[in-house]
Structure 1
């Protein structure tokens, strides 16, 4: 193999593919990026068997070839190269990285054991703006369960229904849902992406601006954009019928400035106990919204929150970390908190935002 390419494009491609390598001691080739030069293209591939990516960049190919190199070492080397163009050559199973001022050699590994990355020819296809895809995934994935006992809960669910694409995640204690308008000829249900794959999908497409083609088969989902092809395993199972958990009517409501709410929870963090419990005391009759945290080791913190209140008086207890997690998904100046009595979930929404919804179950006393 002998090629020349633009350093910046190679660094960008390597940084995306390197995120997928497996860090696998039993199968060292999974720690590698596969480089394949052909037809004036350099194709980079990486996989951890759960997630795979291929990225093609333009290159001047003098001699075609294929080689597997340790991904982390290759990335670290390239990050210290500032030359505009770079030459890659393979000699005696070694990769030579050559610039005007530097020559480095990386010992390669056999590419014969490198797993093939599935090529999806799904019956279900949609196109989605890259910013909408990453927004949808970012806004919910943190609500998925970190336990793999119930794989459907350690996933982000994607549904397409009535010209909306829904991103949903839940660990049974809280639930996040984002809906985004999409043009689709058919409804698609119960596409479960392993939550551990979601951050890597976001990283690959976060700096992209354009429409991504998505194909779905029985066991895989693929994302394709301008030389980037990424595929993820789909989890078998059925996502819970979560819509029945979301109340249609509420007995108590509070509207709070987002900035004020964030400040309160920074204080809550200091005084919280080992259970992360925070107490809500809402009294619309007295125009009072009090949030309290208490720890035997630290002390107590009481906050009187300025809010527009309506409905019945109510007292509930929550895990404050479940509440603060959703702040990253709300981009409005004010938020609405909606309640339906003792023992029932709290709904959090951005005021005037009808795309994102967050549900939190209360704690027992």
Structure 2
């Protein structure tokens, strides 16, 4: 088997499929990349058994009768070499029964091949659900929620995913780790009603791969999901579980409210959080007489305090996880941040003043509790 393709496309394909290859794997062959060809297409495949990626590119292909049409090569070494080749020149791959030879100009590198039959196949998805949406919308919904998922291995599986909730001509992404909740919504006329949980790792991969297309097809069969463009396919298992009833967590009414300029609030929080992250991670917000005081204490070392103006009825003090508060506010696409509150221990609702497409809920902390 002999393949020629532009090195830039070779490297892009390797970078894309490499997003699912992990340093630690129970099966050593999963640290490699499968290369498969047909008449005009070269397909690169990688998997970690939970997520998989296929990236197809065009190239010149020569296959003699009886020759194999696929091989497995070591990913890390291959990518490192290809990344140092000239991107604007052609790179050649020669495959024998046991060797893969990579050539460009006078450069030549040989790798041992692995048996392609031992490589885990990506599952075929029965197309029971198909939704087509703009790529930028899918990525924005993901960015607005993925930070609120739990990254802890011991967490409930539902907390390690993002709820895909489409109904009433709206697509909603919701994520929670039980201490905070992020909600992002985008109207899509005629979208079919569906509800499933996508692993955060799958959506993280989607946000990192390089694709040129402006729209993406989402295909699911209730157990698996695939994000498809003409050249890139990302496949993942879905999370089989019951997502918490998020609508019950969102306060229906707020006894107190405060409106704060985002460009004043975020820098102040960032500075105070420097102290908080070194100790309890807590930030104290005190709303009183139009002033919002932001404080953190590093016991026996230092303390910090900031003050910004607010408009509203709030007259109370709350203790919040500093980093989680900043994460939630940073995704608000509005000049004015609105806090909706009922008591120092009830969930706090945070949103933009004129934008209802994004909502963040954060649980206050007790004075005696550390995170």
TM-score, shorter chain, exceeding 0.5: yes
Deviations for 1:126-169, whole angstroms, at most 9, x for unmatched residues? 10111111111111111112234411111111110111111111
Q: Does 1:334 align with 2:341?
A: no
Partner of residue 252, structure 2: 248
SS of residue matched to 1:168: strand
- Which moved further from structure 2: 210-219 or 320-329? 320-329
SS of residue matched to 1:19: helix
Q: Quick one: distance in 2 between partners of 1:26 and 1:127?
A: 35
Q: Quick one: distance in 2 between partners of 1:295 and 1:24?
A: 37
270, 277, 285: which one aligns with 1:280: 285
Q: Quick one: distance in 1 between partners of 2:273 and 2:233?
A: 42
Q: Quick one: distance in 2 between partners of 1:261 and 1:220?
A: 41
Partner of residue 176, structure 1: 182
Q: Quick one: distance in 1 between partners of 2:207 and 2:238?
A: 16
189, 192, 200: which one aligns with 1:186: 192
Task: Report if the CA contact (8 A) 1:22-1:47 is conserved.
Answer: no
* Superposed displacement of residue 50, structure 1: 0.2
Q: Does 1:292 align with 2:295?
A: yes
Residue 208 to residue 298, structure 1, CA distance change in 2 (3 Å): farther
* Superposed displacement of residue 92, structure 1: 4.2
Partner of residue 314, structure 1: 316
* Superposed displacement of residue 354, structure 1: 1.6
Partner of residue 152, structure 1: 158
Structure 1 stretches of at least 4 aligned residues deviating more than 6 Å after TM superposition: none
SS of residue matched to 1:152: helix
* Superposed displacement of residue 290, structure 1: 1.3
SS of residue matched to 1:341: coil
Q: Quick one: distance in 2 between partners of 1:25 and 1:141?
A: 24
Structure 2 runs not aligned, ≥5 long:
none
Residue 98 to residue 328, structure 1, CA distance change in 2 (3 Å): farther
* Superposed displacement of residue 2, structure 1: 0.4
Structure 1 runs not aligned, ≥5 long:
none
* Superposed displacement of residue 239, structure 1: 0.3
Q: Quick one: distance in 2 between partners of 1:53 and 1:26?
A: 19
User: What CA RMSD, in Å, does the superposition of the two structures yield over aligned residues?
Assistant: 1.7
Q: Does 1:102 align with 2:104?
A: no
1:104-183, aligned counterparts within 5 Å? Answer: 104-147=109-152, 148-183=154-189
1:163-242, aligned counterparts within 5 Å? Answer: 163-189=169-195, 191-204=196-209, 207-242=211-246
Provide the TM-score with structure 2 as the length reference.
0.92
Q: Does 1:56 align with 2:59?
A: no
SS of residue matched to 1:112: helix
Task: Report if the CA contact (8 A) 2:21-2:47 is conserved.
Answer: yes
Partner of residue 83, structure 2: 79
* Superposed displacement of residue 328, structure 1: 4.0
* Superposed displacement of residue 314, structure 1: 1.2
Q: Quick one: distance in 1 between partners of 2:178 and 2:79?
A: 39
Residue 289 to residue 26, structure 1, CA distance change in 2 (3 Å): closer
Q: Quick one: distance in 1 between partners of 2:43 and 2:314?
A: 62
Partner of residue 305, structure 2: 302
Task: Report if the CA contact (8 A) 1:29-1:110 is conserved.
Answer: no
1:9-48, aligned counterparts within 5 Å? Answer: 9-48=9-48
Residue 362 to residue 119, structure 1, CA distance change in 2 (3 Å): same
* Superposed displacement of residue 25, structure 1: 4.8
